Structure 1
Amino acid sequence: MRLSALLTVPLAVGALLGGAASPAAAGVGGVTLSNADNGRTLTVQSGTDLQVRLAGSRSAHATWTWSPPTADDPEVADRVAALTSEDGSAMADFRMQEPGTTGITAYERCVPRAARACPHLVVLWKVTIRVQDDPAR
């Protein structure tokens, strides 16, 4: 089985089971964000693990594919893993480090199939993460 096929199932399951994170404060543990969380602002504690799971889409003419999510400030949100798959999905895992504010961004673009064309369009996905000190540390 190809690596992309192996990654596609966990991405799809993660997107379905992960749900949307609320903009309320989240404690140390895990937070999962998906396509639906675009534009959100979250407050989390340092030490929180954050997962981003973005689902791509395919049509007969093209695949809308995501770039791996990145943090604007890696001192605040350290990316520890990132993958993309052939179906256009992307994922990244972050560990919240220092107190501060950072954006996490990804870009979706159209990749045409042979003899097809795509619009010259890039879609931005962005969340803002505020990291606070963990009082238990």
Structure 2
Amino acid sequence: LTRVPDADGSSTGGAIAAGTPLTSASLLGPDAGLRPPGTVLVPTVFGDAQSVSVIRPGHRLRVFAAGGAEAAEGDDDLGGLGASGALVDEAVVTAVHTPAGPAAQGSTVVTLAVTESEAAALARGAGAYLSFALLN
């Protein structure tokens, strides 16, 4: 990129530190196509901050909620579990935001494109320890 207008209408695929040179590889265009038709965007926080560090926009995830003894006994308090036992069988990552500063450790927000019923399942699982499987 050599001019400001070259980046106009684009967003980055992740956090970029102040002073970092922007390249075309670090930008997502306005037509990136990361949000499939018929989906909604849901900000999500996963339990393991180290695992989240591998997630990038465009990745597809299967999302799980860790359960206690109740889950082992087959009590589906969270509802919406797919055949795989996941809250969401396939979500598309549209953005990853890691706030700066020591107080923000472990609070990376991953925005997922999911169906409305999957969004409801994630909402019911709010507060649960969420994990994921990377599908691509």
* Alignment TM-score, normalising by the size of structure 2: 0.28
Considering Cα pairs closer than 8 Å and 6+ residues apart, tell me whether 1 or 2 has the greater RCO: 2
Structure with greater strand share of residues? 1
**Greater Rg by CA:** 2
* Alignment TM-score, normalising by the size of structure 1: 0.28
Structure with greater helix share of residues? 2
